[in-house]
C-alpha cells in the first residue's frame, strides 16, 4: 500500500477535506502526502527481515549489521520479524500485530544496527514518524559487559552503512533509552536532553517535524496512556547536509528486544 505523491489531507478554511484524486482544487493552507512509508506487515517481510528487503516506498533497502559469534559463546545479536502473539514484550507498537525486532544480549557487549536510506532527504515542514517499544534493560546471563547500554533510533546526514561504527557518523539526532535512566533521552544540539517521559513498556509514537535553520519540533505519544508530549523549537546537531538516512540500534539491550515500525514521512504537497 503506497501513498507516494498522493495528497493525504488538506486544511481548508478551518476544515479537513479528504482528497481522493480531486483535480483542480487549489488551497493555500497545509496539504501533505506520504512521501515514504513502511510497515513490518508489508509483503516483502513475509519470509522474515533481511538485508536487502525494501518494503513500502520512499526508503532504500535495509542494511542489517550484527557481529557473528561462535556457537556456544553465549553471545547473540540479530534481527527478526516480531509477532505480538509470540513475543511477551511486544504490545501497542505492533502494527497489525507485527513489528521489526532487534536483539542484543550475552556475556559481552553485543550490538546491532539496522540502517536505511531516505530516497528524498528530509526538508523543512517534513514529518518523520515511527513507533518504538522497549521494556527496559536486564541481563539475560549471569555475567554481562559493564559498558553503558542503549537502544533507540538515530537520524543521520549520510547514508554510509558498512559497519556498526557508521551509526554514529553524521548523526544529527537520536532518541534513546539509556541504561540506568528511567526516561527517554534525546541527543541533538544538546549532548543529552532528558524528556522526563518515563519509558513506556507499551511503546511510544515519535514524530519529528522539521523547521527552518536546523530547528525541529518533537512530539512523543506514550501508547500506554495516550498522552502526547510536545517539545517545540529544538535544534539538530549542526551539520552541512540534510537528513538522508536513519538507524535503529540495540547496543547490549539485554533480555528485552527493541521493536519498531510505522515508518512514515509526511511532506507538504505542492499545487
Q: What is the pLDDT of residue 7?
A: 40
- The answer to whether position 24 is within a domain reads no
In sequence order, what are the beta bridge partners of 188? Answer: none
pLDDT score, position 80:
96
Number of domains present in the structure of the chain: 1
Confidence of residue 74 (pLDDT cuts 50, 70, 90): confident
Domain-embedded: residue 86: yes
Percent of the chain with pLDDT over 90: 68
pLDDT of residue 9: 41
Note the pLDDT tens digit of each residue in 180-218. 999 999 999 999 999 999 999 999 999 999 999 999 999
Residue 139: the pLDDT is 77
Is residue 271 over pLDDT 80? no
Residues paired with 16 in a beta bridge? 11
Q: Phi first, then psi: what are they for 251, rounded to 5°?
A: -105, 90
Cell of 59: 526508503
> Is-contact 153 248, C-beta < 8 A?
yes
Predicted confidence (pLDDT) per residue in 31-49, tens digit: 899 999 999 999 999 999 9
Do the beta carbons of residue 112 and residue 239 sit within 8 Å? no
For 90-143, the DSSP string reads: --TT-BTTEEEEEEEEESS--EEEEEEEBSS---TT-EEEEEEE----B-SSS-
Name the band, by pLDDT with cuts 50, 70 and 90, for residue 120: very high
Q: What is the CATH number of the domain that holds 207?
A: 2.60.120.200
Whether 8 shows a pLDDT value over 50: the answer reads no
SS3 76: strand
Is residue 212 one of the residues assigned to a domain?
A: yes
pLDDT given for residue 15 in this prediction: 37
Q: What are the phi and psi torsion angles at 50 (to 5°)?
A: -135, 165
Does residue 93 carry a pLDDT above 90? yes
Structure confidence at residue 173 (pLDDT) = 97
Percent of the chain with pLDDT over 70: 87
> Would the pLDDT of 21 be above 70?
no
Residue 107, strand partner residues: none
Which residue range is the domain that position 127 belongs to? 35-268
The answer to whether residue 21 sits within a structural domain is no
Instruction: Kindly report the pTM of this predicted structure.
Output: 0.86
Q: What is the mean pLDDT of the chain?
A: 87
How many residues appear in the chain?
A: 271
Q: Report the phi/psi class of residue 168: left, alpha or beta, with left for phi > 0 and alpha for psi in -120 to 50.
A: alpha
Strand order across the 150-156 sheet = 63-65, 111-117, 245-251, 150-156, 171-178, 183-187, 193-198
Residue 28 is predicted with a pLDDT of 44
In a domain, 16, yes or no: no
Average pLDDT over residues 16-25: 39
Q: How far apart are CA 178 and CA 172, in angstroms?
A: 18
Please tell me the distance from the alpha carbon of residue 56 to that of residue 37, in angstroms, as a whole number. Answer: 6
Q: What is the pLDDT of residue 165?
A: 80
Nearest to 200 by CA among 134, 126, 113: 134
- pLDDT over 60 at 6, yes or no: no
* pLDDT value of residue 16: 37
Query: How confident is residue 19, by pLDDT bands cut at 50, 70 and 90?
Result: very low
Amino acid at each position: 500500500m503506497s501513498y507516494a505523491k498522493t495528497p493525504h489531507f488538506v486544511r481548508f478554511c478551518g476544515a479537513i477535506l479528504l482528497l481522493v484524486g480531486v483535480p483542480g482544487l487549489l488551497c493555500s493552507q497545509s496539504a501533505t502526502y506520504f512521501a515514504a512509508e513502511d510497515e513490518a506487515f508489508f509483503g516483502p517481510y513475509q519470509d522474515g527481515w533481511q538485508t536487502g528487503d525494501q518494503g513500502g516506498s520512499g526508503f532504500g533497502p535495509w542494511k542489517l549489521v550484527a557481529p557473528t559469534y561462535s556457537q556456544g559463546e553465549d553471545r547473540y545479536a540479530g534481527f527478526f520479524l516480531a509477532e505480538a502473539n509470540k513475543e511477551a514484550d511486544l504490545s501497542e507498537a505492533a502494527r497489525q500485530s507485527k513489528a521489526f525486532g532487534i536483539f542484543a544480549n550475552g556475556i559481552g557487549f553485543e550490538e546491532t544496527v539496522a540502517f536505511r536510506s531516505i530516497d528524498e532527504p528530509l526538508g523543512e515542514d517534513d514529518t518523520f514518524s515511527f513507533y518504538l517499544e522497549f521494556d527496559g534493560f536486564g541481563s539475560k546471563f549471569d555475567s554481562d559487559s559493564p559498558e553503558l547500554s542503549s537502544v533507540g533510533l538515530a537520524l543521520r546526514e549520510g547514508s554510509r552503512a558498512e559497519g556498526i561504527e557508521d551509526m554514529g557518523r553524521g548523526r544529527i539526532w537520536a532518541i534513546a533509552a539509556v541504561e540506568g535512566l528511567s526516561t527517554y533521552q534525546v541527543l541533538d544540539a544538546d549532548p543529552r536532553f532528558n524528556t522526563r517521559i518515563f519509558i513506556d513498556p507499551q511503546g511510544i509514537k515519535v514524530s519529528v517535524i522539521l523547521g527552518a535553520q536546523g530547528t525541529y519540533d518533537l512530539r512523543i505519544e506514550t501508547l500506554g496512556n495516550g498522552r502526547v508530549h510536545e517539545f517545540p523549537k529544538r535544534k539538530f546537531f549542526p551539520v552541512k547536509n540534510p537528513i538522508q538516512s536513519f538507524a535503529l540500534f540495540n547496543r547490549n539491550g539485554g533480555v528485552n528486544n527493541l521493536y519498531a515500525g510505522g515508518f512514515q514521512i509526511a511532506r507538504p504537497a505542492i499545487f
